[in-house]
């Protein structure tokens, strides 16, 4: 009888610890369901407790993948990053393609990727005045691609420099 009581209290204690850890993570920033579950697995919580914790947080709307994606896209566009990089980051966070495309579709309505890339390119190119133009263009091209702008947009902008 005592063993069963001890097991039940250990389970509830572990469940409380998992929730406390999840709330600690959410205190710093929003997280996707997948990302939160991964962090709980890294802390070696049992799979059943992880599933219970994630569903508890989801039911009470502490985690919402659509809201997370929207917030992530918004914060990354302010940096500014290209849509390719943002798409890749959201996929790494474990979001469904449907949610990713929905969030990026909403962002595209108010975000001109080519205009932002053009401004970044001009700013970067002006810093590279002491380098021969061909090398400077190659560096600007590499810079824009690293920031997640598509090669097509990037090459058009670099040609115009």
What letters, b where the CB count within 10 A reaches 16 and e where it falls short, cover 53-65?
bbeebeeeebbbb
9 with 51, same domain?
A: yes
CA gap 123, 73 in Å, rounded: 23
If asked whether residues 54 and 75 sit together in one domain, one would say no
Q: Based on the domain organization, do 75 and 93 belong to the same domain?
A: yes
> Using CA atoms, how far apart are residues 38 and 139, in angstroms rounded to an integer?
37
Q: Which residues contact 14 (CB under 8 A, 6 or more apart)?
A: 45, 46, 49
Domain check: are 124 and 152 in the same one?
A: yes
Q: Are residues 55 and 29 in the same domain?
A: yes
Domain-ending residue, one of 59, 84, 99: 59
**Total domain count, the chain:** 3
Query: What pLDDT does residue 12 have?
Result: 54
Q: What is the pLDDT of residue 140?
A: 94
Question: What is the predicted pLDDT for the residue at 26?
Answer: 93
81 and 97, same domain (yes or no): yes
**153 and 140 housed in the same domain:** yes
Residues 11 and 46 in one domain: yes
pLDDT confidence of residue 6: 42
Q: In whole angstroms, what is the distance from residue 29 CA to residue 89 CA?
A: 15
| Same-domain status, 36 and 73 | no
Please check whether residues 95 and 69 belong to one and the same domain.
Answer: yes
Best CA proximity match to 53, nearest among 98, 84, 23: 23
pLDDT reported for residue 160? 83
Range of the domain at 122: 113-160
For tokens 């809201």, the residue is 67
Q: According to the model, what pLDDT value does residue 129 have? A: 85
Q: What is the chain's pLDDT, residue by residue, as a tens digit (161 residues)?
A: 444 444 444 445 688 999 999 999 999 999 999 999 999 999 999 999 999 999 999 999 999 999 999 999 999 999 999 999 999 999 999 999 999 999 999 998 888 889 999 999 999 999 988 889 899 999 999 999 999 999 999 999 998 87
The SS3 of residue 95 is coil
Give the CATH number of the domain where residue 18 resides. Answer: 1.10.10
Same domain, yes or no, for 99 and 120?
A: no
Give the tokens for residue 25: 């993570």
- Those residues whose C-beta lies under 8 Å from the C-beta of residue 128, and which sit 6 or more positions away, are 135, 136, 139, 140
* pLDDT number for residue 2: 43
Q: What is the pLDDT of residue 1?
A: 45
Clarify whether residues 54 and 98 are in a common domain.
no
Distances in Å between the Cα of 28 and the Cα atoms of 14, 21, 85, 144, 150 are: 22, 12, 23, 29, 31
């Amino acid at each position: 009888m005592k063993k069963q009581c001890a097991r039940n209290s250990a389970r509830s204690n572990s469940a409380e610890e998992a929730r406390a850890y999840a709330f600690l993570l959410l205190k710093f920033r929003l997280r996707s369901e997948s990302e939160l579950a991964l962090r709980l697995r890294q802390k070696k919580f049992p799979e059943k407790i992880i599933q219970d914790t994630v569903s508890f947080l989801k039911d009470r709307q502490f985690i919402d993948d659509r809201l997370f994606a929207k917030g992530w896209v918004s914060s990354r566009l302010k940096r500014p990053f290209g849509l390719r990089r943002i798409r890749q980051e959201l996929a790494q966070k474990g979001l469904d393609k449907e949610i990713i495309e929905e969030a990026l579709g909403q962002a595209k309505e108010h975000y001109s990727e080519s205009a932002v890339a053009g401004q970044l390119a001009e700013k970067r190119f002006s810093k590279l005045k002491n380098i021969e133009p061909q090398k400077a263009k190659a560096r600007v091209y590499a810079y824009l691609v690293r920031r997640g702008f598509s090669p097509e947009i990037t090459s058009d902008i670099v040609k115009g420099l």
